[in-house]
Structure 1
Amino acid sequence: MNPRLPQNSNLCIRPLQYRDLDAVESLVQHGVEAGKRDLSLATRALDLTRHIPSVRRWYGLLKLLSLFPNPFQHLLCVHVAQEEEHTRGAIQISPFNQTRSTWRVDRAIVEPGACIEDIDSQLLRHCLETIWEARMWLIEVGIDAKSELALYRHNGFQRLAQITYWEMNAALLETLAQREPDLPNLLPVSNADAQLLCQLDTASMPPLVRQVFDRHVKDFQTSLLRSAIEAVQQWIDRTEVVSAYVFEPQRKAAIGYFQLKLCRDGSRPHAAELTVHPAYTWLYPELLAQMARITRDFAPQSLHLTSADYQPEREEYLEQIGAARIEHTLLMSRSVWHKLRESKPAALDLQLSEVLQGFQPARKPIPSRIAWLQEGQRGDRPNPQGDANPSIEELRQFSNNGDRFDKPREEDSGS
């Protein structure tokens, strides 16, 4: 475990309160921000960079939702670092999966001119120590942010994957939409398809990423309450979500999936999430053509898509059609199993002699039938309390005579 950075004793880290919203809004506008990219469209964290007015308006409801278990309990999970009544930094975190075994740092904002290494490190350490549910943590940092990468490596984060953000402009989308996609088994997504989508997600990533993400069937299901709140949020943001998957009838499995977050008024780019089985890479042209045809019904706007370094076929096809790379980020992860004691507990430090005492017999052994027969040959009664075990020579002599345990001796029957 890495040593702690020197901490500021005057720095107080606590959950966000209503009176901190003005200071957080100032930090969002002028602060140094890290981890601002979303890993997927299914994130349940509010974007502080765009929704501070909404947070101020619905702060009471958000706090009420955080008091009891519900799908939006961690919708606004923000901690602020305060020093002498002055807000120096803030960090926003959210659970990455439904079981809350993996958490992510959505964004970390530090006041410009402050000691970024000290404040940011203390905010991270505070989250690592207080969120007891978390077993893994994720953060996404720009690949050119050398100081931030060094800071997070110092705090135990390691490289997991490299993420590339692509942009397909409106002209390129129009060109792709002219092609008729060959997708005979394209079906809409519902909760009944959660098992198929979970299997597809599991097969589309390497084992290490799969272990860190730790997704289950519940991550691909949507509750009634969550659907209602997402519908209200889409109405406020003037967006629409369209999702579908490709079903393979022979294997009874899903081999491709996409989700589009479309902007109705053209104020911001469309966003897409795409998952393709590694054995069906021919689906990339078909699915992208289908998504391009869907965007025709909305205002002309570019489409943003992501790819990881373990998806070489996707990156090769995007380069082939002329998509533009707009950003490179590094996805980093960290395990927090260090919460368990690394040293061996004293209760398990037992001596060998103490362990072997449990294998000692509780009483003397009961004499066997062989001993009784040998005692009968000598005319003596066997003594169960004494040492009645025969010697090796007596056993060998008894076996050579051909006597059986269940047959009386001839001389005894004649008499």
Structure 2
Amino acid sequence: MDNPAEKPNPDSKAPKEAPELILRPAQLGDLEAVEEILAQAFDEEYSGRSVDIRRQVRRLRQWYGPLKTLSLFPNRFQHMFTVHVAELEGKIQGVIQVSPFNHSRSTWRVDHIAVVPSARRQGIGSKLLRHCMEHFREARTWILEVNIHNKGAMALYRHNGFQPLAQITYWSIRPEILAALSQHEPMLPNLVPVTNRDAYAIYQLDTGSMPATVRQVYDRDVSDFRTSPLDWLLDQAKCVISQTERVEMCVYEPERKTAIGYFNLKLDRTGQQPHVAKLTVHPAYTWLYPELMAKMARLTQAYPPQALALASTDYQPEREEFLLKLGARDVERTLLMSRSVWHKVREARSPWYSEYLALVLQKLPVKQPVPERFEGLAEGCLEHPFHSLHPTGLDSHSVRPESSLGQARDPQSEAPPPPG
């Protein structure tokens, strides 16, 4: 006699489900873990640029309340603390920080992304990236920077649709070089402090100094170079807290009244951080590099001696050549990468979309084109007013030999034979 079916034992435990990874905005209690994760990931990488990531996170913890208040209404610092975390079983496993890159918020930037070593190669980095791309739907383009030697991070970003856009080099100019540069009297008669009236001129300079591909990704407009009274007040408060001072000046071309050079210099009053400069020069006025550098070197002499940090891109070879001759030190090279919104559209399609589209296209009626015979063209109809260098109206270099076009035919030879 067969044994009856065994009844399930109610005391036996069901198999445990895999713990769920929770992606959420960071809270005040998460900042200690966020600091450790970012410091572990970027301490060594940022040391060459004299960037103290721990100090930045501590400052965020100190001003967490005011920053959360600023995030409630539009202003320049609204997204200064936009941090999301990946939590697994109550522990923070990954961190991502993002911010809008332009005023219209059509382009966003991934500032930092890091995963604890024990949780790497588990897809947490990709999940954090996609979480932010779905959360901030106003972004049409995403950009980020990655060290050229960080092959693992490059593979992660390529896997998520990011493509190389430009290479950025970070430079450091020693205080001794700055002191020597300050002895040169800069020949800049049209150098003026920047105000909101200069916004359109600086916008034109900015767009004219970069390739079209980069300009399309950055997607800046005039509003990116204007400062509202609230933004000015918040920027002044930030300078007081960080003990820095900011100087913005631009150079105008005397005849055309257009901006041809611009710099934004952040000066450190404590002597603990390097001075930081953003420099823009029109490609047709590269002779401005030594003059603007001499002006910035003079401004640094009123502060504790510190190095000057600035960047260059691979589409600015004149700047890199000048900095090398100056004796600047190449501290880091990064790759600027971008991801278009079209990658998001392709990911959002359902699996049956391509099959359905192919089925629809198969049912559409297809008409074969009917070849038409061209009669002999009237003489001179191929002539064009812009092709007047050749007697026949065409450039002799653009006429292909008969061997490549096929043997020429006489129109009369194609007439039907006479009836016999």
TM-score range (shorter-chain normalised) is 0.7 to 0.9
In structure 2, what is the equivalent of residue 132 of structure 1? 137
Q: Partner of 2:283: helix, strand, or coil? A: coil
| Residue aligning to 1:52 | 57
Offset at 1:112? Answer: 2.4
Letter in 2 for 1:16: A
The answer as to 2:328 corresponding to 1:323 is: yes
Preserved CA contact (<8 Å) 1:117 1:151: no
Number of matched pairs: 337
- Offset of 1:89 from its aligned partner? 1.0
8 Å contact from structure 1 (residues 33, 110) kept in 2: no
Shift of 1:51: 2.8
- Measured in 2, the distance between the counterparts of 1:49 and 1:198 equals 34
**After the TM superposition, which of the residue ranges 285-294 and 331-340 deviates more from structure 2?**
331-340
Alignment check: 8 A CA contact 1:33 1:107 kept? no
- Does the aligned pair in 2 maintain the 1:204–1:276 contact within 8 Å? yes
2:239 — aligned with what?
Answer: 234
Q: How do 1:28-43 and structure 2 match up within 5 A?
A: 28-31=38-41
Q: Distance in 2 between matches of 1:75 and 1:137?
A: 17
- How far apart, CA to CA, are the structure 1 residues paired with 2:215 and 2:45? 21
- Residue in 2 that maps onto 1:83: 88
- Which amino acid is the alignment partner of residue 68 of structure 1? F
Residue 277 (structure 2) pairs with residue 272 (structure 1) = yes
Alpha-carbon distance between aligned partners in 1 of 2:290 and 2:332, rounded to the nearest angstrom = 22
Q: Please tell me the residue identity of whatever aligns with 2:24.
A: R
SS of residue paired to 1:163? strand
Structure 1 partner of 2:113: 108
Aligned to 2:101: 96
Asked if the contact 2:199–2:226 (Cα under 8 Å) also holds between the matched residues in 1, the reply is yes
Q: Which amino acid aligns with 1:17?
A: Q
Using a 3 Å threshold, how does the CA distance of structure 1 residues 239 and 32 change in structure 2: closer, same or farther? closer
Change (3 A) 1:189 1:47: farther
Segments of 5+ residues of structure 2 without an aligned counterpart are 1-17, 366-420
Distance, in Å, in 1 between the alignment partners of 2:110 and 2:121 is 16
Larger Rg: 1
Q: Distance in 1 between matches of 2:238 and 2:214?
A: 30
**Alpha-carbon distance, 1:49 to partner:** 3.4
**Residues 52 and 291 of structure 1: is their aligned pair in 2 closer, same or farther, counting only changes over 3 Å?**
same
Q: Residue type of the partner of 1:208?
A: T
Q: What's the offset of the Cα at 1:33?
A: 7.5
* Mapped partners of 1:32, 1:186: distance in 2: 38
Structure 2 residue aligned with 1:213:
218
Q: Which residue of 2 aligns with 1:202?
A: 207
Aligned residue runs from structure 1 range 147-186, under 5 A: 147-186=152-191
> Quick one: structure 1 residues 70 and 173, their matched pair in 2 at CA, closer, same or farther if it must change by over 3 Å?
closer
Written as runs of structure 1 = structure 2, the 5 A alignment for 1:385-400 is: none
Residue pair 2:193, 2:249 contacting (<8 A) in 1 also: yes
Aligned to 1:403: none
SS in 2 for 1:266: coil
TM-score between both structures, scaled by the size of structure 1: 0.76
| Rounded Cα–Cα distance in structure 2 between residues aligned with 1:222 and 1:91 | 28
* C-alpha distance after superposition, 1:45-89 (max 9, x if no partner): x98632333322322222222223333221210000000000001
In the other structure, the counterpart of 2:417 is: none
- CA gap 1:36/1:27 in 2 versus in 1, 3 angstroms: same
Q: Matched residues in 1 for 2:315 and 2:129: separation?
A: 28
Work out which of the residue numbers 21, 29, 32 in structure 2 matches 1:11.
Answer: 21
In structure 2, relative to structure 1, the CA distance for the partners of 1:174 and 1:48 (3 Å cut) is: closer
| Cα distance in 2 for residues equivalent to 1:31 and 1:168 | 26
Q: Are 1:333 and 2:338 counterparts?
A: yes
SS in 2 for 1:129: helix
Name the CA distance, whole Å, in 2 between partners of 1:71 and 1:47. 22
User: Residues 339 and 113 of structure 1: is their aligned pair in 2 closer, same or farther, counting only changes over 3 Å?
Assistant: closer
Quick one: distance in 2 between partners of 1:99 and 1:335?
Answer: 16
Residues 110 and 116 of structure 1 are in contact (CA less than 8 Å); yes or no, is this contact kept in structure 2? Answer: no
Q: Distance in 2 between matches of 1:284 and 1:165?
A: 16
Secondary structure at the aligned position of 1:113 is classed as: helix
Q: Which runs of 5+ in 1 are unaligned?
A: 1-7, 40-45, 354-415
Separation in 2 of the partners of 1:269 and 1:68? 32
Map of 2:227 onto structure 1: 222
Cα deviation for residue 230 of structure 1 reads 1.3
**Alpha carbons of structure 1 residues 328 and 233: separation in structure 2 relative to 1, 3 Å:** same
1:144 to 131, 142, 149: 149
Alignment check: 8 A CA contact 2:95 2:114 kept? yes
Which residue, 249, 259, 263 being the options, matches 1:254? Answer: 259
Alignment match of 1:311 (pick from 307, 313, 316) = 316
1:24 to 34, 44, 65: 34
- Structure 1 residues 174 and 166: alpha-carbon distance in aligned structure 2, compared to 1, 3 A threshold: same
Distance in 1 of aligned mates of 2:137 and 2:52: 24
Q: Distance in 2 between the 1:111 and 1:212 partners? A: 31
Q: Partners of 1:110 and 1:32 in 2: how far apart? A: 11
| TM-score, reference length from structure 2 | 0.75
Identity of aligned residues (%): 55
Q: Which amino acid aligns with 1:170?
A: P
Amino acid at match of 2:98: I
What CA distance in whole angstroms lies between the structure 1 residues aligned with 2:147 and 2:240?
32
- Residue 410 of structure 1 corresponds to none
CA distance in 1, matches of 2:71, 2:53: 17
Q: CA 1:305–1:231 in 2, change beyond 3 Å: closer, same or farther? A: same
Question: Which letter does structure 2 place at the counterpart of 1:74?
Answer: H
- Cα contact 1:92–1:107 (8 A) shared by 2: yes
RMSD across aligned positions (CA): 2.5
Q: What is the Cα deviation at residue 352 of structure 1?
A: 7.9
> Partners of 1:155 and 1:183 in 2: how far apart?
46
Bigger mean CA deviation after superposition, 22-31 or 93-102: 22-31
Instruction: Give the C-alpha shift of residue 26 in structure 1.
Output: 2.2
